[in-house]
Structure 1
Amino acid sequence: MQNALPPALTITPPDHPLSGRVSPPGSKSITNRALLLAALAEGTSRLTGALKSKDTALMARALREMGVTVDEPDATTFLITSPGRLQAPAGPLFLGNAGTATRFLTAAVATIVGTVVVDGDEDMRLRPILPLVEALNTLGIDARSPSGCPPVTIHGTGSFGQGRVEIDASLSSQYVSALLMAAPLGEGPIEIALTGKDIGARGYVDLTLAAMRAFGAVVEARDDGSWLVQPTGYKAADFHVEPDASAATYLWGIEALTGGRIDLGVSADAFTQPDAAAKAVLAQFPNMPAVIDGSQMQDAVPTMAVVAAFNNHPVRFVGIANLRVKETDRIRAVANELNRLRPNLAREEGDDLIVNADPSLMQSAQRNATSRIETYHDHRIAMSFALAGLKMGGVTILDPACTGKTYPEYWDMLAGLGVELTPTA
């Protein structure tokens, strides 16, 4: 279905619990980390269980443009052969709205001898990157971003420098991960320290450290806010990518709303990704907590918010200010679209999101009204609001193809569970 998706899909609520076996795709976050680290390692690395999606395709294409051989022998494997250093591309690197690829490569291309422009689409050009650019400048790297967002121009000399660099990671942990992954190519040890204790989704830094060590890096956590990285470079390795916990949240949401049972082939506690914490929250439906701190499971917040619309009592989501600088302003987008399902179903209060739960919506499967959900080119808005269509009649998802960013088979998965999806103009 993904290759020929219509402009919109209308969901018919199933009249039975949804059960079955679903294998989530590989983790986008881990795949893009492993692709970059393999490209920085001399030799051939094999990545298995990897995600093949728009975001990872953009990363792979950029690596090819910098002299790395990236082969794809099957649907979940990458073979990466690299001389251990990136080469200057012939033109700007275009990375769409892939935040991980854009932030990670902004740091990594500083190890190139030459000038590199890292750019994205109109949405990416609204996403802040100045804290990372300023940190690179501290290391003696000539990086410039006049708007504070992409495009970024980096004049590399082949060195990532050495010494201590401080970074404000309150907007995104990806800034820290970008510096960490490039640091083993420094001239000497590099200490990376937070300017404050606030960091968006700290668990993703742990994913970065694990992947770095798998490719031979030596990195030590000095305390809660600093890391020391040795100039070891990287070694080629075979690396298995675990399933995507963010994708799994939709399956856990399906279980909660329909009373079904979906076998993911992996238990929630086997994930190393922070979004897996959403499983315990969703399992409490229809009595989810009155206050949910989404700071360490940010990509799961849209899923939890849509499920919370059917909860027995209102839910306030806190610690989610960073959602305003994702693919879209997800706080505003979720509030807007919940209110499209029912007026005053949600509201913004500062950077908190309040969902005024209405359990009577669980009985609205046969209503005749139509809710056409705007997705804002954001895959997570499309996938999370599809869950509302499992309980409410008339839910139509606009631009369903945007799910290809991280979960190309999402609609096929729903259809495979027995959900009727009707193409709509």
Structure 2
Amino acid sequence: MTTDKLTIVPPGHALSGRVAPPGSKSITNRALLLAGLAQGESRLTGALKSDDTRYMADALRAMGVRIEEPEDTSFVVTGNGGLSAPAHPLFLGNAGTAVRFLPAAIAALVTGEVIVDGDQHMRKRPILPLVKALASLGVDISAPSGCPPVTIRGTGGFAAHHVVIDAGLSSQYVSALLMAGPCAGRPFTVELAGDEIGARGYIDLTIAAMRAFGATVDQVTPSVWKIEPTGYQATDFHIEPDASAATYLWAAEALTGGRIDIGTPSSAFTQPDAKAFDVISAFPAMPAVIDGSQMQDAIPTLAVLAAFNATPVRFTGISNLRVKECDRVRALSLGLNAIRAGLAREEGDDLIVSGDPALAGRHQPAEIDTFADHRIAMSFALAGLKTSGIAILDPKCVGKTYPGYWDALASLGVGYLEERPR
């Protein structure tokens, strides 16, 4: 898409039809890494092809992993149980999973210097807790700004085999260390520093994927995991649809009174964001307080839906949203208030959405700054289903995780006015 601005045309009818969400980004990037670390050929089906997964696949290719893409939703990954130093720095755009997962695997397996870097947005996203944890294992690693770029001077292993990690900012730090564990050469223990952890459900996704590729992981306590030095074995692995993507379709159904078949019941998802289904189903009587700590990527969807709710909604447990692709708490507040002054406000790290069912059917011209964040773009498109004049800036940013999003809405009868670059 070359459009700079996309104005949503409210359909004026219930949205009904069938839309299959893409594969899970979270699971695809975990599976790509584990297949790349495995010995032999793995076939990944149901996979997501997007900016984030392309960055992960290209980084693995640069480190000696063979990856083929025979179909739009599959990868065939052939690994040799190790990784080699790439010829150039690894550029990973704003792919948080790739930037957080790869340094630990590189430290465990690569001999030589590797630089992990990203775009201007990624260079503002913290990675220091992971850097400190790897340094405690004897890894020569540095990230002077506390954010990427990260330089790892690998020796092909860890000097120690017990690591303590502060996961208050992101569960991805824990997942990175867990996935490196089977390659450590000796039994390896990962321990949380305190009980704070962002989106614990993603740890469950990580462990399930590890076990599918032959790892032995024992959760000793809620904050300690022991991993055996099994390495990984190639396997065929199917990836479920993306629950975060599904939230947009569930919300579109709720907002318009429609019926959208996504091909997978909400109860079949293992991803944490599927918890949002029950909240969406309560619309227009959403709970007065929603704890977003365990379904963080669903909060933009829920916040925009709350703009049309019958009563105000306070979102709590969302401080980690400030260090995502952008400061999502601020971006949501700004976008909602662009639609109608006073529609949202921030109190500390909480977001309060006042709720205004009368917005439906109004013309409320508003340009939504997405801050190049795919979730801000996709969630605010929902407002345009009920209120005319909603324009999404930089709509192509959805390519990070859902390249077909605009086509999916169009297939349900949503129209657009496009403004192209001059």
In the superposition, the TM-score normalised over structure 1's length comes to 0.98
Residue 138 in 1 paired to residue 133 in 2? Answer: no
**Amino acid corresponding to residue 180 of structure 2 in structure 1:** A
Q: What is residue 240 of structure 2 aligned with on the other side?
A: 242
Aligned to 2:414: 419
Q: 2:51 aligns with which of 50, 54, 58?
A: 54
Equivalent of residue 194 in structure 1, options 165, 189, 192: 192
Alpha-carbon offset, residue 163 of structure 1:
2.5
Report the residue type matching 2:32 in the other structure: L
Q: Which amino acid aligns with 2:250?
A: W
Aligned to 1:399: 394
* 1:212-251 alignment, distance < 5 Å: 212-251=210-249
Shift of 1:106: 1.2
Please tell me whether residue 32 in structure 1 is matched to residue 32 in structure 2: no
Structure-2 separation of matches of 1:255 and 1:90: 48
Alpha-carbon deviation of 1:5? 3.7
The answer as to 2:372 corresponding to 1:386 is: no
* SS class of match (1:165): strand
Aligned pairs for 1:134-173 within 5 A:
134-173=132-171
Say whether the 8 Å CA contact 1:160–1:183 is kept in structure 2: no
Give the match for residue 99 of structure 1.
96
Determine if contact 2:32/2:56 at 8 Å carries over to the other structure. yes
Q: CA deviation at 1:138?
A: 1.2
3-state SS, counterpart of residue 131 of structure 1: helix
Q: CA deviation at 1:93?
A: 0.4
What is aligned with 1:409? Answer: 404
Correspondent of 1:376 among 359, 371, 374 = 371
Identity of aligned pairs, percent?
Answer: 66
SS of alignment partner, residue 219 of structure 2:
strand
1:362 is matched with which residue? 360
Distance in 2 separating the partners of 1:411 and 1:131 = 37
Q: Of 65, 71, 79, which residue of structure 1 is paired with 2:62?
A: 65
Q: Deviations over 1:271-302 (max 9, x none)?
A: 00000000000000000000000000000000
Retained in 2: the 8 A contact 1:161–1:187?
Answer: no
State how far apart, in whole Å, the 2-side matches of 1:31 and 1:293 are.
26
* Offset of residue 422 of structure 1: 1.4
Does the aligned pair in 1 maintain the 2:161–2:184 contact within 8 Å? no
Q: 1-side partners of 2:352 and 2:116: how far apart?
A: 37
- The answer on whether the counterparts of 1:160 and 1:185 sit within 8 Å (CA) in structure 2 is no
* Whole-angstrom CA distance in 2 between matches of 1:166 and 1:329: 27
- Specify the SS of the correspondent of 1:235: coil
C-alpha distance in structure 2 between counterparts of 1:276 and 1:213, whole Å:
22
Equivalent residue number for residue 16 of structure 1: 13
1:6 Cα offset (Å): 1.0
Decide whether the 8 Å contact of 1:100 with 1:174 is kept in 2. yes
The letter for the 1-side match of 2:221 is D
Question: Following the alignment from structure 1 to structure 2, what is the Cα–Cα distance between the partners of residues 168 and 49?
Answer: 33
CA-to-partner distance for each residue in 1:348-400, whole Å, 9 max, x for gaps?
A: 10000000111111231xx2x42111110000000000000000011111111
1:124 paired with 2:119, answer no
Q: Distance in 2 between matches of 1:9 and 1:160?
A: 49
Q: Within 1, Cα distance between the matches of 2:235 and 2:370?
A: 38
The CA deviation at 1:162 is 4.1
Q: Distance in 1 between matches of 2:284 and 2:273?
A: 20
In structure 2, distance between residues paired with 1:355 and 1:23: 30
The yes-or-no answer on 1:278 pairing with 2:289 is no
Aligned AA for 2:344? A
Question: Once the two structures are superposed, what CA deviation does each residue of 1:29-77 show, in whole Å capped at 9, x if it has no partner?
Answer: 0000000000000111000000000000000010110011110001000
**Any idea what SS the aligned residue of 1:20 has?**
strand
In 1, Cα distance between the equivalents of 2:367 and 2:129?
37
Listed one character per residue, the Cα deviations across residues 203-244 of structure 1 (whole Å, up to 9, x for unaligned) are 000000000000000010111111001111000010000000
Equivalent residue of 1:370, what SS?
strand
**Structure 1 residues 74-89: aligned runs within 5 Å:** 74-89=71-86
List gaps (5 residues or longer) in structure 2.
none
- CA-to-aligned-CA distance 1:165-195 (integer Å, 9 cap, x gap): 1000000000000000011111211110101
TM-score normalised according to structure 2 size: 0.98
Q: Which residue of 1 aligns with 2:179?
A: 181
Query: Given residue 172 of structure 2, which amino acid in structure 1 is its aligned partner?
Result: Q
Match of 1:322?
A: 320
Runs of 4+ in 1 over 2 A off after TM superposition: 160-163
Q: How far apart are residue 91 of structure 1 and its match?
A: 1.1
Structure 1 Cα separation of the partners of residues 179 and 160 of structure 2: 14
Give 3-state SS (helix, strand or coil) of 2:60's partner.
helix
Looking at structure 1, the residues matched to 160 and 208 of structure 2 have their Cα atoms a distance apart, in angstroms, of 22
Report the 3-state secondary structure (helix = DSSP H, G, I; strand = E; otherwise coil) of the residue aligned with 2:120: coil
Deviation at 1:336, TM superposition (A): 0.3
Does structure 1 conserve the Cα–Cα contact (< 8 Å) formed by 2:361 and 2:388?
A: no
Distance 2:187 2:96 in 1: 27
CA contact (8 A) 1:162 1:188 kept: no
Partner Cα separation in structure 2 for residue 17 and residue 360 of structure 1:
18
- Aligned letter for 1:423? E
**2:126 touches 2:146 (CA, 8 Å); kept in 1?**
yes
Report if the CA contact (8 A) 1:46-1:77 is conserved. Answer: yes
**SS of equivalent residue, structure 1 residue 197:** strand
Q: How many residues were matched structurally?
A: 419
Amino acid at match of 1:57: R
2:307 corresponds, among 299, 306, 309, to 309
